Structure 1
Amino acid sequence: MKLHPANFAHQYIFTGYGEGYVLINQIRYKQSLIVLPNQLIENWPVLSIAELQFHHFDALITLSPEIILLGTGPKHIFPNQSLLSQITKTGIGIEIMDTGAACRTFNILAEEGRHIAAAVLVQL
């Protein structure tokens, strides 16, 4: 699916997504990654929700976004409840959704000027 940005200047946004990829500022990525409006962390070493652990969020938590949008791939899958508890104890909110929904939600919140992050799983 191709997304059409509304009013974005000099920031990272999702411009499309599909099976096994996401587009950020028209560049195709085929691996999991973390996106903030002003920063891109490529090659996030997570391949599945089952392997996701708290330490995978270390770099992201130090950036203190107000919310993390966790894109779980093509299906909406909840991670381990203890992981969610550990993240919320940091004072950062987390929302779980499929990767397409995370891309769309990220763009809306970024346009509003929110300090958000999307951690998305890109599965082949």
Structure 2
Amino acid sequence: MKLHADKLDTQSITSYGEGWIAVNGQRQTGSLILASGGQLLAWDCQRLEDLTPAHFEQLANVMPEAPELVVFGSGSRLRFVRPALLQGLIERRIGVETMDTAAACRTYNILAGEGRRVVAALLIEA
């Protein structure tokens, strides 16, 4: 599916499909972190079962200022992680929304377009 934002001042998700996401037209095939501050990083995980608290701790420090919200894309279907994995974000009062990765892509674009401090953590399953 192709996505078209009105005008984003930051990197945006321009399209996605099974096993990939395009950020500003550049196809990414591995799990990734995308922040409204312009940061794009590989996220070292391929399966939901591989996630640890350290994966989520990393999200709090991606941008110079802490994000307001983390949008977690759990893969091709909606799945929730154990609450203990999110404890570090919760203690910092950073909101977490979990959805399938396609919905997370759309939500990230909307929030980033509104100027919100948002981080998308997108699981792309191998």
Fold equivalence (TM over 0.5):
yes
Q: Determine helix, strand or coil for the equivalent of 2:76.
A: coil
Amino acid across the alignment from 1:97? M
Q: After superposition, give the CA deviation of every residue in 1:33-87 in whole Å (9 maximum; x if it has no partner).
A: 1001223333210111112111113332123100000001111000112113342
Query: Structure 1: 5+ residue runs without aligned partners?
Result: none
Question: Contact (CA 8 Å) 1:70, 1:119: kept in 2 or not?
Answer: yes
The TM-score with structure 1 as length reference comes to 0.92
- The unaligned stretches of length 5 or more in structure 2 are none
Q: Secondary structure at the match of 1:109?
A: helix
- Taking only the aligned residue pairs, the percentage that are identical comes to 38
1:5-84 alignment to 2 at 5 Å?
5-9=5-9, 11-62=10-61, 63=63, 64-84=66-86
Report the Cα offset of residue 6 of structure 1: 1.1
Question: Which residue of the partner structure matches residue 112 of structure 2?
Answer: 110
Q: Distance in 2 between matches of 1:57 and 1:41?
A: 15
In the comparison of the two structures, how many residue pairs are matched? Answer: 123
Query: Alpha-carbon deviation of 1:94?
Result: 0.3
Greater CA deviation, 22-31 or 76-85?
76-85
Provide Cα deviations, 1:93-119, integer angstroms capped at 9, x if missing partner: 000000000000001111110000000
**TM-score between the two structures when normalised by the length of structure 2:** 0.91
